[in-house]
Amino acid sequence: MQTAVPRALLLVAALAAAPLVAACGITVDKDDDGRNANVDIKSPFGTVSVQADKDTPPDTGLPVRSGARVSRDEDHDNANVNVQSGSFAVRVQVAKYEHDEAPEAILDYYRQELVRYGSVTECRGDLDFKDSAPPRCKERSRGETQLGAGTEADNHIVSVKPRSSGTEFTLIHVRTRG
């Protein structure tokens, strides 16, 4: 009898959600390799839009270090993501690069660039901007250093890790409303 109740609840939830799903519009465009490149979802509750371009990274508001190359990983690591629902919105821009310089040189460069957005926090792991200015270190790393500046509503992050004889780094800009 215990398994019948959850199944019944799932059936009721699925039936209740059916009109909402039917009211959604989903558009998916593929890149030349057959991977999802652009996805747009519209529903009565809001919209989600993802533009991923492996060759043209979005503008994160941070300059790209001279000599950097767009990362050629198999996955789409460059994307503009927009989520809007009523008075809430979040926009995330992510751009991934490679450089022949050592990680410390990349970190030095972005420590100076991030100052324009506020006090810079450096973590050997993940940053947490929630209810904190400047951001604080959340957890220890797996070989990655993050620099961050800004507020919970508008922040910039640079994630840096060694790669072969150089460095892989990711520039991230997150803005929220509501």
Closest CA to 41 of 17, 15, 23, 14: 23
**pLDDT confidence of 75, banded at 50, 70, 90?**
low
Q: Which two tokens stand for residue 93?
A: 């821009």
More confident residue, 125 or 89: 89
Q: What value, to the nearest 5°, has the Cα angle with vertex 149 and ends 148 and 153?
A: 110
**pLDDT confidence of 6, banded at 50, 70, 90?**
very low
For the chain, give percent helix, strand, coil, nearest 5. 20, 45, 35
Q: Is the pLDDT of residue 170 over 90?
A: yes
Q: What rounded mean pLDDT belongs to the chain?
A: 82
Q: Which two tokens stand for residue 157?
A: 């992050």
Q: Is the pLDDT of residue 164 over 50?
A: yes
The count of residues in the chain is 178
**Model pLDDT for residues 94-132, shown as the tens digit of each residue:** 999 999 999 999 999 999 999 999 999 999 988 888 876
| 8 A C-beta contact, residue 93 and residue 172 | yes
**pLDDT confidence of 3, banded at 50, 70, 90?**
very low
pLDDT at 9: 44
CB atoms within 10 A of CB 127: 23
More confident residue, 105 or 134: 105
Q: What value, to the nearest 5°, has the Cα angle with vertex 50 and ends 150 and 116?
A: 20
Tell whether pTM > 0.85: no
Q: Which two tokens stand for residue 126?
A: 């993940």
- Give the DSSP per-residue string, 7-40: HHHHHHHHHHHHHHHHT-EEEEEE-TTSSEEEEE
DSSP state at residue 115? G
Q: Which two tokens stand for residue 132?
A: 């904190």
**Model pLDDT for residues 7-53, shown as the tens digit of each residue:** 454 444 554 444 545 557 777 777 666 665 788 888 888 888 888 87
